[in-house]
Structure 1
Amino acid sequence: MKKFTIFLTIFSLYLICSCGQKKPNVKVSEGKIIKKKSVIKKEIESEQRHYFDSTFVVNKQTFKFIINDINEEEITLTFFRNTEKIKVDTIQSGGLGGVEFVDFNKDKNIDILLTYIGNNPSYDLYLFDKSENKYKFLDGYNRFSEAKQLKANPKYYFSYQRAGCADMNWVSDLFYIDNYKTVHVGHIYGQGCTPDEKENPLEIEIYKIYKNDDVNKTLIEKLPYTKNIPKFDQKWMFIEKYWNKNYGKFN
């Protein structure tokens, strides 16, 4: 995900987790994070696996975001606006590897991204709703890894996920956001590896998804793999180019 210019200062920012991995914060173009300070206490190290505390300004409102353990499997996310507690969510903590401030939908407001470590990373995302001055959970976003916004039409986003054979097989999905829910409309399966190319040729299968249901899909196109992706590292270029050029087929 692209980094943006930030004029942010972070207050009480610290995350402790069993995985010990964390992606760097993606910088955003608007908003003000008030101060940065690491919180390291023996009590936290011995009793808490996850702890995060940050105060920042968005849309001229001061927000405080806190993560605390409930038990070994669950954490609470608590949101304050101008000292008023406005939201408390309980989520699973297994694999939680980092918290980032991003401008996901490029509306110049800070969004909050939680990263989970695994063979394919997964994410939870809270988008800032400027009209209500609060954060809203993006339902269904955890289905899409490494999502990026299309350049040709910023309404749409596409993802990438490994699907085996040392990342030679992969999938990419096209979706948009409607009322803080993801709507899945397109799917690509790239098969760059097969035990027998005569029986199972290397192909790129492209599907249209109906009614936001992964099972309800129709194959609309097959492309020869090596003709379109002659080298391993060219698949990302193919994926981005295909979605930007063809997103209209999936309306």
Structure 2
Amino acid sequence: MRLFKYLFLILLYFSCKQHAQKTVVPAGNKTPAPVRDNILKTAEASINGDHYLIQYTSTYNMYILKNNRDTIFKETDAAADFEFKDFDMDGYKDIRLYYMTNVPGIEGFLLYEPKSKTFKNVLNFQDFPSPVKIGGTQYYYSYHRSGCADMNWTSDLFYIENYQCKKIGTINGYECENSGIKDGIYIAKASGTKQTVIRELPISTIKRYKEYKWGFIADYWQNNYKLFVTAF
């Protein structure tokens, strides 16, 4: 009986010692990124000599991994849809985030920064739904509903500076016989919360365009954005 207890203690000692050993990461190597539970969607791209992987999980988190090792960005309550796309047309793929909301076209924008080889969140980008870049310029315009079953609508002209959107122009369209507001198109220069109307057009103007108000908006901003570069 004593011999049996002695052998049992010896086995228990070596078993505990074995389980107490730590995993050693070789010097110079980085710890691999942890496995995400229940990965629902991924996207990947090679940019500037590096490989980037987006993972979206069942816990509504989004991770961006660089070279399949380092987590360089994490967002909680993240957008369920996304893609790599060179949105600012600088030759490097950015990341566009597409949110499911009651306002169509709400997006997020992670701008690729080539010097640091990472992505940076563009602040207040979600304030400019359905954004479109004006080709050959640094300017963008948006579109969103402003009430009355989309018969009142707004389009803003803006640019991105220091990872923040800055509005410099606005088009407001009214075609709902609003109380106190005459139906029409009101075009204004903008700086912060200040706006100055510089032109008014009849709402019937949009009927001249094949794509209706969206055609008018695209044509106006593409041909007149320079008027708003110096807002005030």
Q: Normalising by structure 1, what TM-score? A: 0.68
Distance 1:243 1:54 in 2: 33
Task: Tell me the C-alpha RMSD between the 2 structures.
Answer: 2.3
Which structure dedicates a bigger proportion of its chain to helix? 2
Distance 2:166 2:178 in 1: 34
2:75 to 83, 86, 90: 90
Counterpart of 1:207, as a letter, is A
Residue aligning to 1:230: 207
Residue aligning to 1:182: 165
In the TM superposition, 1:160-239 aligns within 5 A as: 160-194=143-177, 200-210=181-191, 213=192, 215-226=193-204, 228-230=205-207, 233-239=211-217
Deviates more, 1:83-92 or 1:216-225: 83-92
CA contact (8 A) 2:188 2:195 kept: yes
CA contact (8 A) 1:78 1:85 kept: no
Distance 2:51 2:111 in 1: 16
Gaps of 5+ in 2: 1-36
Counterpart of 1:140, as a letter, is N
Distance 2:228 2:110 in 1: 26
Residue aligning to 1:57: 46
Q: CA deviation at 1:86?
A: 4.5
Gaps of 5+ in 1: 1-42, 45-49
The ranges of structure 1 where at least 4 consecutive aligned residues each deviate by more than 3 angstroms after the TM superposition are: none
Higher relative contact order (CA 8 A, sep 6+): 1
Q: Does 1:154 align with 2:154?
A: no
Distance 1:139 1:218 in 2: 25
Q: Does 1:140 align with 2:118?
A: no
Q: 1:246 to 1:55 in 2, by over 3 A?
A: closer
Residue aligning to 1:27: none
Identity of aligned residues (%): 29
Q: Normalising by structure 2, what TM-score? A: 0.73
